[in-house]
Every structure is written in C-alpha cells, then in structure tokens.
Structure 1
Amino acid sequence: MGGRATGPTVVSEPSQVRLTSVSTCATVSRDLDEPLSGTAATATTWLLLEQPGPWGARALVSSHLEPSLGRALEAAAEGTGVRVALIRRPGRHADFGAPALRQVYAAHTVPGRVWLHGATTHDPRRLLDLDFAALGRGDHRTFDDALCGRPHTGDPLALVCTNGRRDRCCALLGRPLASRLAVAGVRGAWEVTHLGGHRFSPTLLVLPHGYAYGRVEAHTVTEVLHGVQEGRVVLQGCRGRSAWERPGQAAELAVRTATGEDAAEALSVVRTAGDAPRWEVTVAHADGRHWEVVVDQGVSSPPRPESCGTSVLGTPGRMDVVAVRELTGAASRG
C-alpha cells in the first residue's frame, strides 16, 4: 500500500501550489518532498483512552465520550507534558453505545525512564483522579493507584491516526493501513484520534519510546515494531521522538544519521539554547559523548495547503539541521 492518491495531484501557479478535486494535502506534501524530521507531536507522556464509535474533529469533545469529561481531561493535561488521545480497534465504527470495559494506556517517553502501563476501567471519569503533573514527570504510581495499572507486557503499541473528521487524509490513508495491520495480526495496532501533521499521512506513533513516523507503509510498520522489540529506532520515515520539542527532535535524528546509532535509549537532548529561528541543541550519548547540533527554522515553499480542510495556502515551518559537531574535553562536559 503506497498511500498515494491517483490522478492529477497539484496545480502549479506562480510560486504556489493548490489542491485539485482529486488530490490531498498528503499528496502535495509528498510530491514537494517536505521533510519529516522534527515534525512529531510533543508529549513526555501519552494517556490513551479507548472510545469506540465515530469521532469528530475534536474527538475528546465530539465523540460519544461525554463532552464535559473530554473538556475536563483537556484542562487537566494542559501544561503538564501529558497528551490525551482516544483509541479504538481497527475496523468499522458503528455506534453500539458505551463499551462496558475500556482499555487505558499511559506511556512515558523520556530516555532512561521509559515505561508503558495498561489498565481497564468501567468508568472513564476515573482518569480525572490522576495527578497529571506527576504523570507528565514520569511517575507511573498515580496511574497504577488510580486505575490499578500494571506494566504492559504485550507487543509495542502501533497507533495509526485515522480521524477523517480532522482531515480526510487520515481516513483515506490511515484507516486502510490500520486495517491491514490488524489483518496481519499486529496485536498492538490501534486507531488514534490525532498525531498532528495530516499532510504526512499515514502517520504512526509507536509506544513506549514515542517515535512518530510519516508516509508509513505496512512493511515499514513491521520493521519499526521489530526494531522496538530489539530496542532499536528505525530512521526511515521517522518524524522524531515526542519527548523533545521540535528542534530537539531534528537534532537527535541528525546525530543518529551521522553516527549510525540506533539504540532507542542511547541519546538524550540535554540542552536547547536560543530561540526561533536558530537553536543550538546538545545531544548526549549514554556512553558520555556529546554533540552540538545547530538547527534553523526554515520555511517550506512554495505555499501549499497544510490540511485538506482549508483552502488557505501556508508555508509550514521546518527544522533544518545546518551543523553537527562532536564535543570533546571540557566542551562535552558543558
């Protein structure tokens, strides 16, 4: 499954690109070779709640989850590093009413403190008993105490964004991928509400490590999940690790590319200096080595639709790595 629309895809005009009736924002982004690095959603901790049935554009408040609960979860997570999303198993999504028992996951993605815990609940309001600040810092005890959570011992989670109400690319490209994974027996496959970057569909988040991927094909997911089980990162199609802000995501991937390091827990972003449009990011290896990475905020051109849901053309920001330098001696110690 290549995930590309057929037929004419873009119409070129002076210094801009627009959608035709048969193209998608994902097709345009792919055809313009928009970089993936440094585009992942940011979250130190993911909190996932099973919610079958249809989802609206803002799924937490426009699904069959009680809207007041969705708003309360959004408010509780704000500023804590926790990102809340809804999940459902791949397949048809007729509304059969509220499920008797829901799956809940929490995953912390910061290297050295990575964990993935699961629980089930009859009452999703119990999620409001969580200490979201502690959860964002990586303390799983609040999850375990409130929901009787336990370490997840099954396969890694493969979360595919399929929310077509948010952007049609997520449905057109994401849902077939999620279904294909389920048919292939990928036990950790779930559909998820929103991972950001519709134009990179199909998009994937893999937990527990929190690496996001774009323009994903089924064989790529197999390689990625095999890598997770071995503690490795697959760089093909990788958008970045959600634990870092976007300059850090780009810097970490640049060091991996330069050194060939693929161990998931080997690299950490330990310092980010500066502000847009230029950052100096220090990336540390578990063995003591350090690198300084210079990241510039660039602009993607020509202007293009950033979503299928708008006719407004935009120039998405991009993280351009302009230098990678290994630090030695006193410089490596900060």
Structure 2
Amino acid sequence: MAGTASPGLVWVLIEHRGGWPPNGFDGLELDAGTKALLSSAAWTAGARILLVRRPGPRPRHGPKRWAVLRYESSGAYQQLWGTWEREEDLAGIVTALASPGDPGLPPVVLICAHGRHDPCCAVRGRPVGRALSERWPELVWECSHVGGDRFAANVVVAPDGVYYGGLDAGSSVATIEAHLAGRIHAEYLRGYTDLSPLQQAAVAALLERFGPAGRHDYQVTETIREGGSWRIHITGKPPHPANIDVELQVRRSAPYQLTCLAPSTGSVMVYEPTSITSDERLQRNSESSD
C-alpha cells in the first residue's frame, strides 16, 4: 500500500445525508450555478470536494455542515466550518477557501463508504465507520470516494493528510488511537498527501524500520534518481535518526483485480525499498570518501 495516498492539501467536506451518486459531488442535483461556483473555487484552491455523513442513523431534516480543511507543513492545520440548509448557503465555502482557518481544532477522521462508486468501500468501510464513531463520535464521518478502492477500508485523517488502508473494525480503532497520540505506524499506512508516491514509500519504510513517529518527525529533503533506482534523503527529529537515505526500486505489479467493479485486471506501480542507511553508516561513508 505504501506510496498510494492521493495528493492534496485542502479538503472541502459537504454533508449530504442521502444517497451519493457514483461520481460524488459532480453528480449531485444542485443548482448549476452553485455547483459551478464551488467547483471553480475548489479547483483554484487545489481542493478536493468530498461528500460526508455521520455513520449509522442520520436525521432527515435540519441544518447540515460543511468544512474547509487545510494542511500546513508547519503543523498548524486550519479548519473552517459552517452549516447549510439551502443550496445558496454553500457559497460560504467559496469565502472559506480564500480565508485563513482556525488552528488547533481536532482532526477529522474520514472513512470511505461510497458503495455506489465501489461496493467494497461500503461493505468494508461501514463497519469501520461504526467502530470509530463509537469511540470518537464528533470526529468521524463517512465520505465519498478517496481513491484506492482495492485497499478498503480506507481512512483519511484530515487536515493531517494521512491515508490508511486495509483496515477492519479492530485495527482501525488501534490505528487511529495511535495516530491521535502522535504515533503513526507503518502497518496500514498508505502515505502522506503532501509527498510524492516515492517519498511516501520511503517514509513508510522508515516507520517500519525505526518504529512509529509523529506526522512531522521526518522531513523529506532530497529525491534523486540514480540509474534504475531512486534515493530519498530524509531528516529526522530526536529520538529518530537525524539523517537517513532510503533507496527504492520502482516496478509494475502483475495484473490483478484492482476493485470490486473493475471490468478487467490491471497493474499498478510498486515502490520497493532496497536499502535504508542511517546516521552512523552515512558518517562512515563520508569519512572514507574524504
């Protein structure tokens, strides 16, 4: 799974309690002008629009919520929230996309449960949504398609920008509990949305080698192609290694059934770490070259 998180720094969440069209927001029967306004603002901001709803029984009436979540590399994530009842109320999202958000709010936990996009997401995602919402009812939402149906159940923590996959009810609670405590594990990690696939895979390899770490404990500083492989240089905060090089090979997988609805088999890129060199060895190599 490492290296498969979809890129993105800004998310727009729109609560929609009814059924979701296969193509999510684009398929909603909204006023054409409102939809065009939102789509244009989201495109300008580089934002992804997701439909959301609470797991389990939901009220049929009453105001619904929207949010703009923004990732900041400094760690000062920003959020703006509002409500809507009439379609024109969604114009508040346009203003929010151009405004600074509120820092310090807890993250949002999104579980893909978009069954009309791919049934695997609903079958595997909804039990995860129920389990997580029992533990963190205010943080958890089901959401529309986030990419990587083959990894259902998929969970995205935003605006942290962290993708997890292959979860079930039990593993999801343990994974999110660790995440909220500042310990991201490699086992179910798909990647960080501010990094390229190669960089995501390199960070996942470090977490597997050296143990869990916080979202900003490692920073990618250099990505170099060397012949048929790649070298990713990463710096770490104490108590993690200060300097690490991860070498990776890139290959294409054998064809297989990628999603429940896929009409035929397909192949994907796989990022395989071949070596991890940390501080002590890097120092020895530098001294020998001198």
Q: Which bin holds the TM-score, normalised by the shorter protein?
A: 0.7 to 0.9
Report the Cα offset of residue 261 of structure 1. Answer: 4.6
Counterpart selection for 1:296 from 225, 249, 256 = 249
Identify the match of residue 259 of structure 1 among 198, 204, 210.
Answer: 210
> Aligned residue for 1:189?
140
CA distance in 1, matches of 2:33, 2:117: 20
Distance across 2 between alignment mates of 1:277 and 1:187? 47
Give the whole-Å Cα distance in 2 for the aligned partners of 1:129 and 1:208. Answer: 18
Q: Describe the shift of the 1:88–1:232 C-alpha distance in structure 2 as closer, same or farther (beyond 3 A).
A: same
Question: Deviations 1:118-164 (Å, cap 9, x if unpaired)?
Answer: 411331122223456xxxxxxxxx143xxxxx34544x422100111
Alpha-carbon contact 1:49-1:105 (below 8 Å) kept: no
Deviation at 1:67, TM superposition (A): 5.3
Is the Cα contact below 8 Å between 1:109 and 1:243 reproduced in 2?
A: no
- Corresponding residue for 2:108? 157
Residue deviations 1:154-183 (CA, integer Å, cap 9, x gap)? 4x4221001111111111111232133334
Residue 293 of structure 1 deviates from its aligned partner by 1.7
What CA distance in whole angstroms lies between the structure 1 residues aligned with 2:228 and 2:262? 26
Which range moved further: 270-279 or 201-210? 270-279
Separation in 2 of the partners of 1:191 and 1:197? Answer: 16
Alignment length (residue pairs): 277
* Helix, strand or coil at the partner of 1:320: strand
Q: Secondary structure at the match of 1:176?
A: helix
Counterpart Cα distance in 1 of 2:168 and 2:49? 25
Which of 175, 196, 211 in structure 2 is aligned with 1:245?
196
How far the C-alpha of 1:79 sits from its partner, in A, is 7.2
Which one scores higher on RCO, CA 8 angstroms, separation ≥ 6? 1
> What are the within-5 Å matches in structure 2 for residues 205-216 of structure 1?
205-216=156-167
1:21 counterpart residue number: none
2:19 is aligned with what amino acid?
Answer: P
- Gap regions ≥5 residues in structure 2: none
CA separation in 1, counterparts of 2:44 and 2:245?
28
Q: Structure 1 residues 101, 263: CA separation in 2 closer, same or farther (over 3 Å shift)?
A: closer
- The verdict on how the C-alpha distance between 1:129 and 1:105 changes in structure 2, with shifts beyond 3 A counting, is closer
Change in 2 beyond 3 A, CA 1:71/1:55: farther
**Offset from partner CA, 1:88-107 (integer Å, 9 cap, x none):** 1112579x47x534231413
Structure-2 change in CA distance of 1:298 and 1:214 (3 Å):
same
Partner in structure 1 of residue 82 of structure 2: 120
Gaps of at least 5 residues in structure 1 are 1-35, 133-141, 145-149
1:164 to 1:294, Cα distance in 2 relative to 1, 3 A: same
Asked if 1:324 corresponds to 2:289, the answer is no
Matched-pair identity in %: 24
Instruction: Report the aligned-residue RMSD.
Output: 2.9
Q: Helix, strand or coil: the match of 1:298?
A: strand
- CA distance in structure 2 between the partners assigned to 1:315 and 1:161 by the alignment: 22
**SS of the residue aligned with 1:127?**
helix
Give the deviation of 1:194 after TM superposition. Answer: 1.6
Partner of 1:5: none
Residue identity opposite 2:270 in structure 1: R
2:187 counterpart SS class: coil
State the Cα distance separating 1:247 from its structure 2 match.
0.8
Code of the residue aligned with 1:160 in structure 2: it is: I
Q: Deviations over 1:241-293 (max 9, x none)?
A: 11211111101111222222522221112222349974322212135822222
Q: Note closer, same or farther for the CA distance 1:261–1:213 as it changes in structure 2 (3 Å cut).
A: closer
Distance in 1 between residues matched to 2:31 and 2:252, nearest whole Å: 39
Distance of 1:258 and 1:143 partners within structure 2: 38
Name the CA distance, whole Å, in 2 between partners of 1:69 and 1:184. Answer: 36
1:14 corresponds in structure 2 to none
Q: TM-score, normalised by structure 1?
A: 0.73
> Corresponding residue for 1:305?
257
Output aligned runs, 1:33-72, within 5 Å: 36-66=1-31, 68-72=33-37
1:68-115, Cα deviation, whole Å (9 max, x unpaired): 544544443447543232211112579x47x534231413163x3341
Matches within 5 A, 1:50-129: 50-66=15-31, 68-78=33-43, 80-92=45-57, 96=60, 100-108=63-71, 110=73, 112-122=74-84, 123-129=89-95
- The secondary structure found in structure 2 opposite 1:255 is helix
Identify the range of structure 1 (267-276 vs 37-46) with the bigger mean alpha-carbon deviation.
Answer: 267-276
Q: In the alignment, residue 188 of structure 2 is paired with which amino acid?
A: G
Counterpart residue type for residue 125 of structure 1: A
- Alignment map for 1:127-138 (pairs within 5 Å): 127-131=93-97
Q: Distance in 2 between matches of 1:81 and 1:295?
A: 29
Q: Is the 8 A contact 2:231 2:247 kept in 1?
A: yes
Contact between 1:53 and 1:93, CA under 8 Å: does it hold in 2? no
Task: Report deviation, 1:202.
Answer: 0.7
The TM-score, its normalising length taken from structure 2, stands at 0.83
Q: Does the 8 A contact of 1:53 with 1:63 survive in 2? A: no
